[in-house]
């Protein structure tokens, strides 16, 4: 591949994140901070996980159940961290809003929370896709035996894109769920995360990536739709509040 292909793969994985970033930070540079701190927190969570699992590596790649345990435990850890993250964020939001009131500036808007949500997605893409992308800028390409139709880097970028979508919109749903106390939303997020994670194991089978990747995108679309439905619900509620 070449520099062109390398940039292409990076854009496939992180292009929409870039668009989201540009669309919202153009008015509020402060959001760069929120994005970076969110990304940092989630990267640290991934590093802690890899530190814990280092003792058990390398896993025997002919059986699938060690990988299932790996994915399950990592997702459980991250969901727990998400709850913690929410509690810290709530405290921080109160402080920031009080400060904004004092200096007569606008408060944090719901769309600003998107940057925090985005941080989670970007961390995933950086850790799982971008870090592997350096060889993609050289002249050679690479095909994995079990997925011989699509180049490895393309598969990696597409999966990263799906997960960026899932993580970004999940965080929005989760925060909303915690704020409103909506149990369905609160349960939806971990289950989708777990399902998406487990779905990547389909790639273990020969030619499995042809099935696994569309399924993953299905999860992503599901998340976007649920988020859209939730936002629509919030909007119509607030509309009714305004009207009444």
Partner 1 sequence: MALKIVFLILLFSFRFRLSLSGNGQTNSMESVPDLQKSMYMVVDGYPCVRLVNLSGEIGCSNPGRDKVVAPIIKYKNNKELGLPSAILLSMDDVQGFFSRISNDSSFASNVAGVLVESRVEIQHKLKGFSPARKFPQAEFAPYHNTTYEWNPIGSGIMWKSYNFPVFLLSESSTSTLQEIAMKNEKTEKAYTTNVAEFDVVMQTTKVGTHDSESCLKEETCLPLGGYSVWSAVPPINNSSSNQSKPIILTVASMDAASFFRDKSLGADSPISGLISLLAAVDALSHVDGLDNLNKQLVFLVFTGEAWGYLGSRRFLLELDQQSDAVRGLNSSLIQLVMEIGSTGKGFSQGNKTFFAHTQVSSDTNEALDALKLAQESLKSEGVTVSNASSSNPGIPPSSLMAFLRKNSSTSGIVLEDFDTVFANKFYHSHLDDSANINSSAIVAAASLVARTLYVLASDKKDSTSSALSSINANASLVEELISCLLDCDPGLSCELVSSYITSVDTCPSYYVGVALGEPSSTPSPNQVDDISRFVWNFLADRTSTLKGNTTVCSKDCSNNGGVCIRAETDGKGICVNSTTRYVPAYSTRLKLDSGTWKVLPPNSSDPMGMLDPVWTESNWNTIGLRVYTVQEAAYDRLVLLGGISVTVLAYLAIVLTRAYITKALKQD
Q: Shortest approach of partner 1 to residue 204 CB, angstroms?
A: 5
By beta-carbon proximity to partner 1, the closer residue of 49 and 201 is 201
Q: Does residue 22 belong to the site contacting partner 1 (CB under 8 A)?
A: yes
Among 50, 97, 191, 214, which residue interacts with partner 1 (rule: CB under 8 A)? 191
Span near partner 1 by CB under 8 A; candidates 54-62, 77-85, 86-94, 168-176: 54-62
Task: Quote the radius of gyration of the chain (alpha carbons, Å).
Answer: 19
Among 28, 135, 180, 217, which residue interacts with partner 1 (rule: CB under 8 A)? 135
User: Which residue matches tokens 């985005």?
Assistant: 118
How many chain residues interact with partner 1 (CB under 8 A)?
63
Q: Does residue 46 belong to the site contacting partner 1 (CB under 8 A)?
A: no
Span near partner 1 by CB under 8 A; candidates 10-18, 42-50, 74-82, 115-123: 10-18
CA 188 vs. chain centroid, Å, equals: 15
Phi first, then psi, for residue 34 (nearest 5°) are -65, -40
Q: Does residue 11 belong to the site contacting partner 1 (CB under 8 A)?
A: yes
Q: Shortest approach of partner 1 to residue 176 CB, angstroms?
A: 15
Which tokens go with 8?
């292409």
Confirm if 184 and 95 have CB atoms less than 8 A apart.
no
Contacts of 120 (CB under 8 A, 6+ apart): 38, 39, 42, 167, 168, 170, 171
Among 41, 180, 198, 217, which residue interacts with partner 1 (rule: CB under 8 A)? 198
By beta-carbon proximity to partner 1, the closer residue of 103 and 140 is 140
Q: Does residue 235 belong to the site contacting partner 1 (CB under 8 A)?
A: yes
Q: Does residue 49 belong to the site contacting partner 1 (CB under 8 A)?
A: no
Number of neighbours of residue 174 by Cβ within 10 angstroms: 23
Among 199, 209, 213, 230, which residue interacts with partner 1 (rule: CB under 8 A)? 199
Between CA 118 and CA 112 the distance in angstroms is 10
Confirm if 167 and 117 have CB atoms less than 8 A apart.
yes
Among 107, 109, 221, 233, which residue interacts with partner 1 (rule: CB under 8 A)? 109
Between CA 181 and CA 175 the distance in angstroms is 10
Q: In 70-132, at which residue ranges do the beta strands (DSSP E only) sit?
A: none
Q: What is the 3-state secondary structure (H, E, C) of 179-215?
A: HHCCHHHHHHHHHHHHHHHHHHHHHHCCCCHHHHHHH
Chain residues that interact with partner 1, rule: CB under 8 A: 1-2, 4-5, 7-12, 15-16, 18-20, 22-23, 57-58, 61-64, 109, 111, 131-132, 134-135, 138-146, 149, 151, 154, 157, 161, 184, 188, 191-192, 195, 198-199, 201-202, 204-206, 208, 215, 222, 226, 231, 235, 238-239
């Amino acid at each position: 591949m070449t520099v062109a292909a390398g940039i292409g793969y990076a854009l496939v994985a992180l292009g929409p994140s870039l668009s989201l970033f540009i669309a919202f930070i153009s008015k509020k540079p402060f959001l760069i901070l929120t994005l970076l701190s969110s990304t940092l927190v989630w990267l640290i969570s991934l590093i802690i996980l890899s530190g814990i699992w280092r003792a058990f590596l390398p896993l025997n790649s002919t059986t699938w159940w060690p990988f299932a345990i790996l994915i399950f435990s990592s997702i459980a850890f991250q969901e727990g961290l998400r709850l913690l993250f929410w509690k810290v964020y709530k405290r921080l939001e109160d402080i920031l809003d009080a400060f904004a009131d004092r200096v007569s500036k606008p408060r944090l808007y719901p769309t600003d929370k998107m940057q925090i949500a985005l941080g989670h997605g970007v961390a995933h893409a950086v850790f799982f896709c971008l870090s592997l992308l350096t060889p993609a800028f050289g002249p050679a390409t690479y095909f994995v035996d079990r997925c011989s139709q699509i180049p490895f880097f393309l598969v990696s970028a597409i999966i990263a894109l799906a997960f960026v979508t899932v993580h970004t919109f999940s965080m929005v749903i989760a925060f909303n769920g915690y704020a409103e106390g909506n149990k369905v939303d609160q349960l939806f997020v971990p289950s989708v995360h777990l399902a998406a994670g487990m779905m990547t194991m389909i790639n273990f089978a020969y030619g499995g990536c042809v099935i696994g990747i569309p399924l993953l995108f299905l999860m992503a679309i599901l998340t976007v739709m649920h988020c859209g439905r939730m936002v629509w619900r919030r909007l119509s509620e607030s509309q009714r509040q305004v009207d009444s």
